[in-house]
Amino acid sequence: MTQPGRRREGALQRREKRLAYALLMPTFLLVLAVVLLPLVANFWISVKPVTLADLRPPTLILKEQVRGDFAAAGDNARLEYRYRNSSITYPLEAVVFNDTLPSGVVVTSLDPACDLEKAGAGIRCDLATLVAKGRGKIQIGITATKAFGGDKSSFKASRPTVRFSSYNVMTSFDFTLTNFERIFSAAEFWDVLKVSIYYTVFGTAGALLFGLFAAQIMQKTFPGRPVIRGLMLFPYVAPVIAVAFSWVVLFDPFSGAVNAMLMQMNIAEGPINFFGQRMVTIHIFGYGISLPMALTMVILFEIWRYFPLSFLFILARMQSIPSDIYEAAEIDGASPIQQFWFLSLPFIAGILAVLFLLRFIWTFNKFDDIFLLTGGNAGTRTLTVNVYEQAFAISNLGAGAAVAVVIFVLLLIFSVIFIRFSPKDAG
């Protein structure tokens, strides 16, 4: 039989749980909004033929102006309305605008599209349908009476009110797969995908290997180790615009220090355009090997800039490994390579897997490094650069969003498979 005290304790725990969920709910909703809303918006745009011009919904642009002298009784002038459709694609329908005239102004002639309202104090103009990029003007004759005590600026006291209906591609429920058909049918898409995978795999693996190598060295105690550890973080914490500019200057084919040294040492016969040359042939043992020059330089920059992150995580994990197992291994005669392979590696396998996943995702989504170094030229155009070019260079936001969706799906599939089969730490 359940005791009353335990029943009260269980009810109290349930109330506390509900209260905790209620208090955390705003945070959950905020996180979901920050994460999901941009994702949903990107999927929404990817299935619509949206261009930069469609970001602003179609509207009627109307300008009012008084032509002629109009300051004293008896003055005659012309009230002119110039209008145009802001959209270059979609028409405006049922276009109507109303305007109120200042006191003491009498209409002497009306445009066929306009009528008087409110005992002559108001004007109503019906423009019916205005085609895309359509424009025109309406002229109305006016006369000032003795009751008019103003000037042309009196007409600015009331602004015309506009009503119309139009098609908005952003809010409509018309969907299309044209954007995906366009990007997949383009011959360059698969080349860009290959470049993205090549850049991501080698950039990620290189950053991890250099980080692991640096962690192995920095784990040992030697004079000046704290200073060197701090200096090794410079590539990661320095502003990307500064370090990218430094690399471009160093490897400049005409005034760069690297080219000058190579030519002085007779290694290069002439200047090498490191960030502008697509391919380079290297002769090793009589065999010519072709390498992507600009892409290799971008990968080296990626490795140099981001290996400190791997170094920090790997070093922190290695310092948590018990030192007595290494002492026992040395007594048993294990070599340094055997100690690393059979002792260190099982302990850091989990952190290496996490770092590889994070760096793979971040590198695959990397845009600023490539854009600052090469602008996506010389064979360095990745999917993220393609997103920028589709959305802003040729103003096709729908195609750019479609490429972004492809990136998201590829990374999601990779992440699920990698998490499923990734190794775990031994300790």
Q: Which domains does the chain have, with CATH numbers?
A: 60-166 (2.60.40.290), 180-421 (1.10.3720.10)
pLDDT digits (tens, 9 = 90+) for 328-371: 888 888 888 888 888 888 889 989 999 999 999 999 999 999 99
Paired tokens of 74: 């008896």
Q: Which residues contact 31 (CB under 8 A, 6 or more apart)?
A: none
Return d(Cα 204, Cα 185) in angstroms, integer.
29
Is pLDDT at 9 greater than 80 in this prediction? no
In this prediction, residue 210 carries a pLDDT of: 95
In this prediction, residue 325 carries a pLDDT of: 87
Is pLDDT at 161 greater than 80 in this prediction? yes
Is pLDDT at 51 greater than 90 in this prediction? no
R_g over Cα of the chain: 35
The residue that leads in pLDDT, 151 or 46, is: 46
In this prediction, residue 265 carries a pLDDT of: 87
Span 281-298, mean pLDDT? 81
Whether 99 and 136 have beta carbons less than 8 Å apart is answered as no
Span 148-153, mean pLDDT? 84
Q: Which residues contact 124 (CB under 8 A, 6 or more apart)?
A: 96, 97, 98, 114, 115, 116, 117
In this prediction, residue 117 carries a pLDDT of: 82
* pLDDT-above-70 percentage for the chain: 95
The torsion angles phi and psi of 13, rounded to 5 degrees, stand at -65, -40
In this prediction, residue 8 carries a pLDDT of: 62
Whether 354 and 310 have beta carbons less than 8 Å apart is answered as no
Burial status of residue 358 (CB atoms within 10 A of its CB: 0-12, 13-18, 19 or more): middle
In this prediction, residue 103 carries a pLDDT of: 87
Of 183-187, 266-270, 405-409, which range is least confident? 266-270
Q: What is the residue type of 121?
A: A
In this prediction, residue 289 carries a pLDDT of: 76
Grade residue 427 by pLDDT with cuts at 50, 70 and 90.
low
Q: Give me the half-sphere count of Cα atoms (radius 13 Å) on the Cβ side of residue 340.
A: 8
Grade residue 77 by pLDDT with cuts at 50, 70 and 90.
very high
The torsion angles phi and psi of 315, rounded to 5 degrees, stand at -65, -40
The torsion angles phi and psi of 359, rounded to 5 degrees, stand at -65, -35
Paired tokens of 62: 């109307």
Return d(Cα 353, Cα 361) in angstroms, integer.
12
Q: Distance between alpha carbon 1 and the CA centroid of its chain, in Å?
A: 62
The residue that leads in pLDDT, 1 or 289, is: 289
Grade residue 162 by pLDDT with cuts at 50, 70 and 90.
very high
In this prediction, residue 385 carries a pLDDT of: 94
